[in-house]
Chains A and B, each alone.
Chain A
Amino acid sequence: MVIKLNMTSGTPIYMQLRNQIILGISRGDLPLGERLPTVRQLAADTGVNTMTVNKAYALLKQEGYIEIDRRHGAKVVAPGALEGDGLEKLEDELALLIAETKLHGMDRDRFLQLCDNLYMGTAGHPGEGTT
């Protein structure tokens, strides 16, 4: 799976890395159980700071997308169902997105259609996709 980082973007590198890995998992490019390079391997090979990669991996682990093993590196795992704080965070982010969409004059049907298209586009469930 190929990840593209924009070094001049306002989004921090660790967040770009985290986002792209999540997108890869959802598309099925990174199936369940797929190994990821270790923090050191990834940092050494890309020239990105070790702390940056570590931060991205720590975030992915905290959010339940990967497991980190000291000897074997990281591995993609199935995240648990959204509940509690996770669900609350999703509701907050969605509320903001819906507000922005409404302010830009997009109607409900178009918004839902767009959501549906994007959901289907990234619809591969972990473990079902191809690399």
Chain B
Amino acid sequence: MNTFIYLFVVIVEVAGMALHLGTAVRLSGYVVLGTTLTADHMADAEVQRLLGRARRGIWLHCLIALAASVPAYFLRDTKYLVPYLLAWALLAAVACWGIEVRNTGQLREIKRQRGWDEGAPENLAIDLKSILLKPKMPVGPHWMVPSLLLSVMVVLQSGSPGIGDALPLFIWLVFLILYRIAVRAKTQVYDENSRINMACSLATRRTWSQGLVLASYIMPVLFLIGGLLDNLPLGVVPVLTTGLILLVLILTHGTVRKRREQILAQGRQAIYNEDDENWKYGMYHNPQDNSTFVEKRVGIGWTINLASRKGKLVAGLAILILVGVVVMYIGILGGGYDMKIDGDEIRVTGFPFGTTFSAREIEDITIIDTLPKSVRTWGYGGGRVYMGEFELEGYGKVRLYAHYQTGPFVVITLTEGTVVIHGESGEETGAYYDALIAAAG
């Protein structure tokens, strides 16, 4: 299982960084390395040298990141593996951002030295025809209704639905939000010829809306298939889902970029959107723009306008969620869990995955020595504790409370669902077992 976690995290992180930095060095909509450049300026020898250095830098960064991840492969204990991988992923992401900022800074310095940033006062171009036809360009949102119904079916398919079963519904909502951002995004003006601008807008909106609609089907379909096939190895469905969603998003981005560049190659009177000064450290801050989301200059998708009121709210919310998750993890790590019996009521405390059930619901109590293969669906796993909903081989979905992955474990079969609990020592597990047997009568 540790090798599986290691490979999954490393592949996603390294491929993500290579893709992110790769988009920076490729010209897209007259922007390269987060900087607006004309075709003439792109041909400049110093610019080409910088791009060559930046491309080599991406390979070097990815190789160093891979080398730094190797020690994690040899960490057999999840207690050490998870914090190591977390720290590694965070450091690699910060270094990736640093490379992006450094390369952008160097190109802007060349632009400044050559005086290419002067004499561009027209900093907002509007194409009236493109705006007028914008609502007709994407595929309609009704195409997302079947994927919503499939997500609801995932919840209904589970006999006792938990938070993990609602994951496709949550992801569907994320895709709906992304769809709205994609179809409402500002119309970019690249050329004096309206036909060029309209073709670019159509290619962008149609392709992104199609890609996001398609992506919204992946999770519910695979979860439904996974639910029907009992003999699938654990972890196959989540990994396949993540991989396919990422693949669809990457292909969509690539298609949009390719079509846009093909259309722009036919333009004769390019309009360069000179708003480099609104992009600093890879972030967008433009007080004169009321838009909340804008297309990223580097990477895939959209980013927040940190100067807009809604943008600040979204950024604040994102920070709050991040802090909340960290606080929750600290709470889990510090608090652990405990089992209390009060008359007929058995309560397992464990923030925020506690559970309560009645002794009358207990159908069977057994002790097992080893924990079967497990996959977390909604909960925490690693460090001192494993808590929450887990998919356990041979048992299906269970509520698991364990300190380590070594036994013994008490398996409580309820009329609806299963709870698996484990003490910090064999004696504590034994005490849990005795207390449960006494409560169940």
Contacts and interface: CB of A to CB of B under 8 A. Distances in A.
Interface of A: 1-9, 30, 35-37, 41-49, 131
Nearest to A30: B128
Contact of B128 (A1, A5, A44): A1
Interface in B189-216: 189, 192, 194, 197
B194 A6 contact: no
Classify chain B's interface size: 20 to 34
Given A2-B271, A7-B288, A45 B123 contact: no
Given A4-B126, A7-B124, A8-B121, 4 more contacts: A2-B271, A3-B127, A9-B121, A42-B126
B125 A2 contact: yes
B126 A41 contact: no
Contacts of B194: 1-2, 131
Nearest to B191: A2
B131 A2 contact: no
Nearest to B123: A7
B106 interface: no
Nearest to A17: B126
B296 interface: no
A7 B286 CA distance: 11
6 contacts: A1-B128, A4-B271, A5-B125, A6-B121, A41-B131, A41-B134
A75 B184 CA distance: 23
B122 A36 contact: no
A5 B125 CA distance: 6
Given A48-B290, A131-B194, A5 B124 contact: yes
A44 B185 CA distance: 9
B289 interface: yes
B132 interface: yes
A32 B92 CA distance: 58
A44 B419 CA distance: 52
B377 interface: no
A37 B291 contact: no
B129 interface: yes
B207 to A, nearest CB: 19
Contacts of A43: 290
Given A45-B134, A46-B186, A36 B290 contact: no
Interface in B119-158: 121-129, 131-132, 134
B35 interface: no
B187 interface: yes
Q: What are the 10 closest A-B residue pairs judged by CB atoms, nearest first?
A: A47-B289, A4-B122, A5-B124, A47-B291, A3-B126, A37-B131, A47-B290, A45-B131, A6-B121, A4-B125
B121 A2 contact: no
Interface in B16-63: none
A69 to B, nearest CB: 14
A1 B124 contact: no
A36 B128 contact: yes
Given A2-B192, A2-B194, A7-B288, A37 B128 contact: yes
B273 to A, nearest CB: 11
Interface string B373-389: 00000000000000000
Contacts of B189: 2
A54 B128 CA distance: 15
Given A2-B192, A2-B194, A42-B131, A49 B126 contact: no
A2 B184 contact: no
B319 to A, nearest CB: 24
B125 A45 contact: no
A46 B124 contact: yes
Nearest to B305: A47
Nearest to A47: B289
